[in-house]
Amino acid sequence: MPARSRAPCFRGASGGREWALPCRRPRRGGRCLTTRRTVCIVQKRDTEKMYAMKYMNKQQCIERDEVRNVFRELEILQEIEHVFLVNLWYSFQDEEDMFMVVDLLLGGDLRYHLQQNVQFSEDTVRLYICEMALALDYLRSQHIIHRDVKPDNILLDEQGHAHLTDFNIATIIKDGERATALAGTKPYMAPEIFQSFVSGGSGYSFEVDWWSVGVLAYELLRGWRPYDIHSSNAVESLVQLFSTASVQYVPTWSKEMVGLLRKLLTVDPKHRVSSLQDMQAAPSLAGVLWQDLSEKKVAPGFVPNKGRLHCDPTFELEEMILESRPLHKKKKRLAKNRSRDSSRDSSQSENDYLQDCLDAIQQDFVIFNREKLKKSQDPVSEPLPAPEAGDAVEDQEGARPALPTCGSICPSRLTES
């Protein structure tokens, strides 16, 4: 693969309105805990369609051993597309960064809305459960376990529909395989994940994501989770917790909602609701028009306010201040780096290992263009014009810079909520 790969041409976009992107930056003492993914809003020049673009610094990914996670997420996202997922449209790279261009969802994530004390109705939560059921059913058909379903990873569009994002710790299992790794966010992880880690056994499967949906739904309705679990809890103590503690349901909740939550929060995965077929057979969902729901014809009960920013603006401001390698200065920076590298004797380099890793990323990174793929699969589509030469970031020179908004980063294998 050439050092400067061809890519779709984007320009930064901010305009006069307030753009909303998820704000999920685990921090300690003002320092990011894992590889940072900066997010900005971009517009594709030929179609003028808006997207969210994440970019990840290669050197940071290498130093923090996150390259495999990034590649795994890209591998998964390039193969899937669903109405209730945050879909990947393009992936490309330059010397510094790896880029992922995805659906732009302006409604914020459910964690933000919980923190704003939004009171979610049963009908709204039921709709989220059904939309996630369709997403998880699709992922199961693709042999994918998400392993990190939680409010932080569910983004709303401007109409209020839910979309699952962040496949950084997802895994693929086929032919009756079982997953065994301790991966996820502890308060949302199913009991069998902890049990598998402590005592071994047969591992776990797709049912773990449905448990997470149950925890999520309970939290949206009540404001806190059904079990008092934190990242600091020992795994052994959590195995004991699930065998002794019981979930407390609010008396004012409807019997139908309590019944649905009970089915999702069943400790034994064999008896847990864990498929679309199970959901469609649930008495509490008998009136759901699944076809209309899959086409987004069912209006959500909660619609994010279009006149406000659905993330913490202090993070946006901090991101803009701390961004030491902004995209709009990338062209000059890369040119300077190339000039410096060409004048240096490679045998005298003190960073041979790092350079080997960077070269490996450059070679193994897969460029992806869903728009081009769709057109190639459409027999009546017109031939595509030849791609423009040069990197997308180079084309930003002279245009309005892509302002970093709310930064999101690769979660570690076990993240705190």
Q: Is the pLDDT of residue 325 over 80?
A: no
One domain, residues 213 and 322: no
Does residue 5 fall inside a structural domain? Answer: no
End-of-domain residue from the set 294, 328, 345: 294
Q: Return the number of other C-beta atoms located less than 10 Å from residue 417's C-beta.
A: 17
Instruction: Determine the distance from the C-alpha atom of residue 47 to the mean position of all C-alpha atoms in its chain, rounded to a whole number.
Output: 25
Residue 278, H or E segment: helix 276-281
Does residue 301 fall inside a structural domain? Answer: no
Q: Which residue has the higher pLDDT, 327 or 303?
A: 303
One domain, residues 165 and 208: yes
Domain that holds residue 32: 10-106+309-415
**CA 263-265-266 angle, 5° bins:** 70
pLDDT in tens, 173-228: 988 899 999 999 999 999 999 999 998 878 999 999 999 999 999 999 999 999 99
Provide the sign of the torsion angle of the four alpha carbons 324, 56, 66, 151, taken in this order.
positive
Active-site option among 94, 148, 157, 391: 148
The dihedrals phi and psi of 372, each to the nearest 5 degrees, come to -65, -40
Please state the rounded mean pLDDT for residues 381-396. Answer: 44
Q: Would you state the pLDDT for residue 137?
A: 97
Of the candidate ranges 30-39, 233-242, 262-271, 407-416, the one whose mean pLDDT is the lowest:
407-416
d(CA 37, CA 322): 13
Closest by CA to 38, choosing from 268, 323, 312, 361, is 323
The mean pLDDT of the chain is 80
End-of-domain residue from the set 244, 262, 294: 294
Closest by CA to 408, choosing from 150, 53, 64, 90, is 53
Q: Which residue has the higher pLDDT, 68 or 342?
A: 68
One domain, residues 236 and 314: no
d(CA 171, CA 146): 7
One domain, residues 269 and 374: no
Q: Is the pLDDT of residue 316 over 70?
A: no
Largest interatomic CA distance in the chain: 74
Closest by CA to 304, choosing from 169, 61, 118, 101, is 118
Distances from the Cα of 155 to the Cαs of 83, 240, 370, in angstroms? 12, 33, 21
Does residue 278 fall inside a structural domain? Answer: yes
Whether 175 is a known active-site residue: answer no
Q: Is the pLDDT of residue 337 over 70?
A: no
The dihedrals phi and psi of 91, each to the nearest 5 degrees, come to -140, 135
Report percent pLDDT > 70 for the chain: 71
pLDDT in tens, 154-169: 999 999 999 999 999 9
Q: Residues near 338 by Cβ (< 8 Å), separated by ≥ 6? A: 95
Does residue 303 fall inside a structural domain? Answer: no
According to DSSP H, which parts of 85-146 are helical? 110-115, 122-141
- What's the whole-model pTM score? 0.79
Q: Is the pLDDT of residue 410 over 50?
A: no
One domain, residues 100 and 117: no
Q: Is the pLDDT of residue 396 over 50?
A: no
Read off the amino acid at residue 225: R
Classify 180 as helix, strand or coil: coil
One domain, residues 95 and 188: no
The dihedrals phi and psi of 399, each to the nearest 5 degrees, come to -95, 170
